[in-house]
């Protein structure tokens, strides 16, 4: 789907909200609320007033990795984006070219056998494209130190050209993020949860709003690509599955915090329509044709008009709601991307 809108460059959030003025915290971002084709303007701090006791927020606990590492292939400088660890120990990686301004631009990844020298004496060899859809992401074998240690020692968060400067990894962690025992995590921040603060979570809990944690480790998106999501690792614990089913039975709304939470929950729906504990890989792509089976609402950021995530938003809220919401977001000068404003889609 393509929305008939153009997002002006000045509507890209270039720094996190807490760096835009004194006294601002993460929850100071604005929030557009869509109920069908009706829209309303709020701040994120008003979220507790927009949910009801018994509603359930599904949150992604995946921690963000310092997934970008400088390297060399021959005499050429490259930046390696580590996306996803495979079951065979290889990593899906994306090779990008430094643009001289601290960010990167797209470059071809192959051919097979290309070697990349990384810091600490670590070597990387591209073996095969991740899929037949293109050669942007490749499976690569890494020699020397383990990748989690490499990222901790030499990595930095993936950064795109619309941002102003590098930020510390802590800026890219959400209040729900938990370290994984095997050192894996998300190549890019599950950004819909970024505006939550501990204080706001306490207020939501005190008002009877429930939380169900799930995990989905996001791969690299690359702003230029606009591709459907690749298979990703996910887990829906048994306790969260029971919470989701209890909320549905009690008339509460299941609101996913981010498209990653939608993908995880909808991947755990069994043949009978109930959510069950499940973990592994998911290649689910939620489209309007497929629809959603469990999720009633969605809290998300604002996406580029060509982004495949918009298909998921349309599946949750419908095309008219999406078109009216994005029209209002542009008129209201909302900010786009991971440090930007929020969009709450409610039934």
Give the model confidence (pLDDT) of 188-224 as tens digits.
999 999 999 999 999 999 999 999 999 999 998 766 6
The token duo for 180 is 């994984």
pLDDT tens, residue by residue, 245-276:
999 999 999 999 999 999 999 999 998 999 99
Q: What is the pLDDT of residue 133?
A: 62
> What is the DSSP pairing of strand 297-300 with strand 254-257?
parallel
**Backbone angle region of 23, left / alpha / beta, with phi > 0 → left and psi within -120 to 50 → alpha:** left
- Compute the distance between CA of residue 262 and CA of residue 286 in angstroms, rounded to an integer: 8
Tell me how far the alpha carbon of residue 221 is from its chain's centroid. 9
- Asked if residue 3 has pLDDT above 80, the reply is no
pLDDT tens, residue by residue, 108-154:
778 899 999 999 999 999 999 987 666 789 999 999 778 999 999 99
- Compute the distance between CA of residue 233 and CA of residue 14 in angstroms, rounded to an integer: 29
Neighbours of 328 (CB within 10 A): 19
Q: What is the pLDDT of residue 25?
A: 96
Neighbours of 301 (CB within 10 A): 23
Task: Give residue 107's pLDDT band: very low, low, confident or very high (50, 70, 90).
Answer: confident
Q: What is the pLDDT of residue 225?
A: 62
- Contacts of residue 23, defined as CB under 8 A and 6 or more positions apart, other chains included, come to none
Q: What is the pLDDT of residue 94?
A: 95
- Asked if residue 1 has pLDDT above 60, the reply is no
Strand partners for 209? none
Task: Give residue 171's pLDDT band: very low, low, confident or very high (50, 70, 90).
Answer: very high
Q: What is the pLDDT of residue 235?
A: 97
Q: Tell me which of 7 and 221 has the higher pLDDT.
A: 7
The vertex-261 CA angle with 9 and 167, nearest 5°, equals 45
pLDDT tens, residue by residue, 24-77:
999 999 999 999 989 999 999 999 999 999 999 999 999 999 999 999 999 999
Helix (H) or strand (E) holding 85: strand 76-85
Q: Tell me which of 246 and 306 has the higher pLDDT.
A: 246
The vertex-64 CA angle with 63 and 67, nearest 5°, equals 140
- Model confidence, pTM: 0.94
Task: Give residue 182's pLDDT band: very low, low, confident or very high (50, 70, 90).
Answer: confident
Q: Report whether the peptide linkage leading into residue 111 is cis, meaning its omega lies within 30 degrees of zero.
A: yes
- Asked if residue 311 has pLDDT above 90, the reply is no
The tokens 């542009």 sit on which residue? 330
> What is the DSSP pairing of strand 342-346 with strand 297-300?
antiparallel
C-alpha distances in angstroms, 201 versus 132, 195, 210, 211, 334? 42, 11, 10, 9, 24
Alpha-helical runs (H) found in 27-164: 47-50, 147-154
- Compute the distance between CA of residue 217 and CA of residue 85 in angstroms, rounded to an integer: 10
Q: Please count the CA atoms within 13 angstroms of the CA of 175 that sit on its side-chain side.
A: 16
In the chain, the N- to C-terminal Cα span, in Å, equals 21
| Order of strands, sheet of 254-257, starting from the edge strand that comes earlier in the sequence | 38-43, 30-35, 342-346, 297-300, 254-257, 56-60, 210-216, 232-236, 278-282
Q: What is the pLDDT of residue 229?
A: 80
- Mean pLDDT along residues 79-86: 95
Collapse the DSSP code of 284 into the 3-class scheme (helix H, G, I; strand E, B; otherwise coil) and give the result: coil
Collapse the DSSP code of 245 into the 3-class scheme (helix H, G, I; strand E, B; otherwise coil) and give the result: helix
The token duo for 241 is 């599955």
- Compute the distance between CA of residue 267 and CA of residue 281 in angstroms, rounded to an integer: 9
- Asked if residue 165 has pLDDT above 80, the reply is yes
The token duo for 311 is 């298909």
Helices vs. strands in the chain: H and E counts, helices first: 7, 16
Is the Cβ–Cβ distance between 140 and 126 less than 8 Å?
A: yes
């Amino acid at each position: 789907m393509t929305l008939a809108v153009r997002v002006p460059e000045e509507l890209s959030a270039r720094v996190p909200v807490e760096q835009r003025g004194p006294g601002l915290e993460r929850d100071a971002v604005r929030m557009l609320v869509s109920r069908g084709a009706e829209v309303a303007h709020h701040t994120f701090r008003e979220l507790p007033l927009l949910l009801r006791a018994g509603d359930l927020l599904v949150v992604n606990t995946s921690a963000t990795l310092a997934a970008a590492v400088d390297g060399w292939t021959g005499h050429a400088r490259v930046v390696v984006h580590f996306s996803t660890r495979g079951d065979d120990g290889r990593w899906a990686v994306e090779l990008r070219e430094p643009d001289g301004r601290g960010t990167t631009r797209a470059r071809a990844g192959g051919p097979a056998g290309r070697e990349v020298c990384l810091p600490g004496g670590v070597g990387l060899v591209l073996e095969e494209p991740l899929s037949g859809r293109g050669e942007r992401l490749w499976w690569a074998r890494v020699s020397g130190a383990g990748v989690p240690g490499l990222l901790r020692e030499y990595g930095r968060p993936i950064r795109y050209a619309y941002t102003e400067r590098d930020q510390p990894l802590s800026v890219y962690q959400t209040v729900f993020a938990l370290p994984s025992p095997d050192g894996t995590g998300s190549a890019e921040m599950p950004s819909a949860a970024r505006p939550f603060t501990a204080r706001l979570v306490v207020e939501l809990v005190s008002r009877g709003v429930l939380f169900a944690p799930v995990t989905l480790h996001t791969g690299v998106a690359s702003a230029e690509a606009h591709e459907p999501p690749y298979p990703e690792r996910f887990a829906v614990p048994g306790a969260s599955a029971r919470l989701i089913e209890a909320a549905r039975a009690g008339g509460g709304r299941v609101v996913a915090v981010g498209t990653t939470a939608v993908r995880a929950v909808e991947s755990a729906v069994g043949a009978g329509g109930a959510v069950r504990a499940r973990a592994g890989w998911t290649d689910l792509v939620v489209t309007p044709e497929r629809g959603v089976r469990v999720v009633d609402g969605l809290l998300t950021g604002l996406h580029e008009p060509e982004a495949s995530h918009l298909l998921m938003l349309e599946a949750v809220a419908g095309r008219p709601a999406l078109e009216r919401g994005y029209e209002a977001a542009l008129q209201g000068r909302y900010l786009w991307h991971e440090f930007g404003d929020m969009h709450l889609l409610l039934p």
